[in-house]
């Protein structure tokens, strides 16, 4: 054994040297917690044998090659090829992928591997980014057939037991129904979604909530993957397996997306980049905020002049309208590249600028629940919210030195309040030269005091060109907010 490559619930993978043939290999060691009983140990060892047999049945370069299974003291050790590279899960920790790269990985690795597996009578059942390896020369390999189901073989999972990664599992599996190839294609759809958004759309704070989301939540079209890619993902995530596209249909769409581009976008950047701020300014807060020689002002002004994203009657170029029925009972207009995040309580969704300069938040919530939650929430009352911010905001530790102004407005015929708050974050108030931020907000009361109210916030720096651009974003965001009639 040379070094540990990774570990999971039932095994540890090592980089090792095969002295017989003088090559480096990967070795999966069975690891079962000591507190589990003999039956669980036996099941775990059986699963590793199934993993080896399943992968060995599939002859394809996108499936990890099994060299041998060595049984030592009753424990099976799997010897397999060493794929040099990181997993897709590790890659996504560094930043999201563009649709072309996501399509390439989904097509040339995952889909090809699944097609070969299904032809061999094997269902993978645990397709997720951590099980997709990115090797050298653009090779993509699907690994870990530990919970695979082989046609004609006895199932190891007893009734009521649950194995797999909840946020990547198909709804029919959650319901205990018989899975098929469409179940693996669902998981591929979630992997493609995560590749361009950074996370599964079904991820919640705990397993029961995640499984419920798989069964009932209807995810939004990926913000960075409209068009053919986004449409394909949404078709793969249909609850009814029969309504999902076939592997052949998926292949055709991914091939078209993965094909080399005919033109190059003048403002596109590499991973983690943004059309708002070039990579050279990433993690450079002073430059981003226009506090060091106006660098951000020049960049943003150039983009605004050349791209002109805020002109026209509909959504500006580079923006999109997204339905937010589940959280907001409204449609929202947001920049296409902003990352969508939803809070578990179902009251908040926000869109984060990849450069970190701006953030757009949307709430639809009541003042407080019967248990006293949000007891200090001032709601849509302008005077109360002004006092709330001047006292420090949430728990009086959110901000300091708040300067608040507001005016009455209307939105879709509803009375509303537009509020601007400049403040210093509490955590940075002791800095020698703290950076001031701005909340530019729209507050729309419900029909009755007890009804939920809408709260829109654009967070920007409070100095430099970013203030003007933040105000323009606010205008587009509030202008595109379409509240549905109740």
Cα 201 off chain centre by: 6
Residue for token pair 């069964």: 215
Residue for token pair 């920049």: 335
The H-assigned helical ranges of 349-429 are 382-390
Report how far apart, in Å, the C-alpha atoms of 474 and of each of 268, 469, 478 are: 24, 9, 6
Of 477, 183, 205, 231, residue with least CA distance to 335: 477
Which 3 state secondary structure label does DSSP give 181? helix
Separation of alpha carbons 432 and 123, rounded Å: 60
The string of DSSP letters for 226-295 reads: -THHHHHHHHHT-SSGGGSPPHHHHHHHHHHHHSPPSS--TT--STT--SSS-GGGTT-HHHHTT-STTH
Annotated catalytic residue within 98, 112, 126, 469? 126
Helix (H) or strand (E) holding 459: strand 453-461
Separation of alpha carbons 290 and 464, rounded Å: 5
Of 105, 403, 315, 346, residue with least CA distance to 205: 346
Helix then strand then coil, in percent of the chain rounded to 5, is 35, 25, 40
Q: Is 344 a catalytic residue?
A: no
Report how far apart, in Å, the C-alpha atoms of 77 and of each of 13, 28, 31, 44, 67 are: 10, 6, 10, 12, 11
Report how far apart, in Å, the C-alpha atoms of 22 and of each of 18, 52, 79, 217, 464 are: 5, 22, 14, 51, 62
Q: Which residues are catalytic?
A: 126
């Amino acid at each position: 054994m040379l070094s540990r490559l990774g570990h999971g619930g039932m095994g540890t993978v090592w980089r090792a040297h095969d002295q017989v043939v003088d090559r480096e290999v990967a070795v999966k060691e069975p690891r079962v917690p000591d507190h589990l009983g003999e039956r669980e140990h036996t099941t775990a060892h059986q699963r590793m044998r199934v993993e080896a047999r399943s992968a060995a049945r599939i002859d394809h370069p996108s499936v990890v090659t099994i060299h041998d299974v060595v049984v030592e003291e009753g424990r099976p050790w799997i010897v397999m090829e060493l794929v040099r590279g990181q997993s897709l899960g590790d890659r996504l920790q560094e930043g999201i992928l563009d649709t072309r790269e996501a399509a390439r990985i989904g097509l040339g690795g995952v889909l090809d591997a699944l097609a070969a597996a299904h032809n061999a009578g094997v269902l993978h059942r645990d397709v997720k980014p951590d099980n997709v390896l990115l090797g050298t020369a653009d090779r993509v390999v699907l690994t870990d057939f530990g919970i695979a189901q082989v046609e004609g073989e006895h199932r190891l999972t007893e009734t009521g037991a649950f194995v797999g990664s909840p946020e990547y599992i198909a709804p029919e599996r959650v319901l205990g129904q018989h899975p098929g190839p469409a179940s693996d294609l669902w998981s591929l759809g979630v992997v493609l979604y995560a590749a361009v958004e950074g996370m599964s759309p079904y991820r919640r704070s705990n397993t029961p909530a995640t499984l419920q989301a798989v069964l009932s939540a209807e995810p939004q079209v990926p913000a960075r993957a409209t068009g053919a890619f986004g449409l394909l993902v949404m078709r793969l995530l249909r609850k009814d397996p029969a309504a999902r596209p076939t592997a052949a249909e998926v292949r055709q769409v991914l091939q078209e997306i993965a094909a080399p581009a005919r033109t190059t976008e003048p403002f596109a950047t590499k991973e983690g980049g943004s059309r708002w701020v070039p990579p050279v300014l990433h993690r450079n807060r002073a430059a981003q905020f226009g506090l060091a020689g106006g660098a951000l002002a020049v960049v943003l002004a150039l983009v605004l002049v050349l791209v002109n994203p805020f002109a026209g009657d509909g959504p500006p170029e580079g923006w999109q309208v997204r339905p937010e029925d589940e959280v907001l009972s409204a449609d929202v207009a947001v920049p296409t590249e902003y990352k969508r995040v939803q809070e578990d309580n179902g009251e908040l969704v926000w869109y984060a600028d990849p450069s970190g300069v701006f953030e757009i938040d949307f709430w639809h919530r009541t003042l407080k629940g019967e248990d006293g939650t949000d007891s200090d929430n001032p709601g849509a009352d302008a005077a109360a919210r002004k006092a709330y911010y001047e006292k420090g905001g949430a728990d009086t530790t959110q901000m300091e030195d708040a300067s608040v102004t507001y005016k009455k407005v209307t939105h879709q015929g509803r009375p509303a309040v537009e509020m601007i708050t400049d403040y210093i974050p509490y955590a940075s108030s002791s800095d020698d030269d703290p950076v001031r931020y701005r909340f530019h907000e729209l507050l729309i009361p419900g029909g009755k005091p007890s009804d939920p109210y809408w709260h829109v916030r654009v967070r920007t720096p409070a100095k430099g060109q970013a203030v003007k651009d933040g105000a323009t974003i606010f205008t587009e965001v509030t202008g595109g907010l379409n509240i549905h009639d109740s």
